[in-house]
Structure 1
């Protein structure tokens, strides 16, 4: 099994967030953001946890290399308070199981908070890699849905759910 560590997002992670803001990484999430948007996102992540910032982590390989981000944030989904989860891994480190390991670790972190029963992820139906991460991390596919991301843009997504009380 692939090993990763997740560590709370810190002020020193701006370079990682800029690296994750590539066309390849952001192809299914509205494309790259402006540098100002990246800096604003970074400040929210550092300030978190919170409703707009979530609880964000850097993903590290066993040797300490920062290779991605993963996190969770509260939202209401179909009348239920849930956590939404998201992640990204640098292209040079994709395909090695790092995202799946990071998602498993963040599910454990969200479960430890103890205030929500479920967490959801909403990858684009056109993103086979992220859908595979959900499946491999033990999420259950509930079906397709229209999901707003980025704000103002509806995308066809799969609604994956995991039980945080297990």
Structure 2
């Protein structure tokens, strides 16, 4: 899907984030949030597009439809600063390669910043679709890991890594 674009998140994307808060989208990330949490997340996403190192983007189709989110943010992982990446696509648009195209575009954006060598993704071990996105986008599976997400919940994930310098 070469015609998928990513554009910086704005406060006007609250409706999209509410749609992405559906149980079938949030199933592997702790379930739906309250509307108060969604509003706060929307504000954080919009601020990420304006300041600081992290970035959140809207996945946009050629017809202008806003169908998902993708982004990267800093985290410490095994003693190093890395990018962590996450994404979501509305259920009606899943299975079309949109998430992979959006991830590749966000990887290019992270690479262009020349900040960190590695970008990681940590999809649930049970999330076949997101693990497939990692594989299709060229990430290397390092193996299973556990971390706390959302706060208070241990998530059993796969650790996928991509070298932004082009090395291995």
Q: TM-score range by the shorter chain?
A: over 0.9
- The corresponding residue for 2:40 is 40
| In 1: Cα distance, 2:58 partner to 2:145 partner | 28
Unaligned runs of 5+ in 1: none
Please name the residue that 1:3 is paired with: 3
- After TM superposition, list the pairs within 5 Å mapping 1:79-118 onto structure 2: 79-118=79-118
CA drift of 1:2 comes to 4.7
SS in 2 for 1:6: strand
- Flag as ranges the 4+ runs of structure 1 deviating above 6 A: none
Partner SS for 1:26: helix
Aligned counterpart, 1:140: 140
**Number of residue-to-residue matches in the alignment:** 165
Per-residue Cα deviation, 1:122-149 (whole angstroms, up to 9, x for no partner): 0000000000000000000000001211
The structure that is helix-richer by fraction is 2
The answer to whether the 8 Å contact 1:2/1:96 transfers is no
CA distance in 2, matches of 1:163, 1:37: 33
Distance between the aligned counterparts of 1:75 and 1:67, measured in 2?
26
CA contact (8 A) 1:3 1:98 kept: no
CA distance in 1, matches of 2:102, 2:71: 9
Secondary structure in structure 2 of the residue aligned to 1:28? helix
CA drift of 1:56 comes to: 0.2
> In structure 1, what is the Cα distance between the partners aligned to 2:86 and 2:151?
15
Structure 2 equivalent of residue 124 of structure 1: 124
**Structure 2: gaps (5+ residues):** none
Give the TM-score, by structure 1 length: 0.96
Deviation, structure 1 residue 3: 2.9
CA apart distance, 1:163:
0.7
Whole-angstrom distance in 1 between the partners of 2:54 and 2:41: 11
| Residues 49-60 of structure 1 mapped to structure 2, 5 A cutoff | 49=49, 54-60=54-60
Q: CA RMSD in A?
A: 1.3
Aligned to 1:63: 63
Matched residue of 1:48: which SS? helix
The normalised TM-score by structure 2 is 0.95
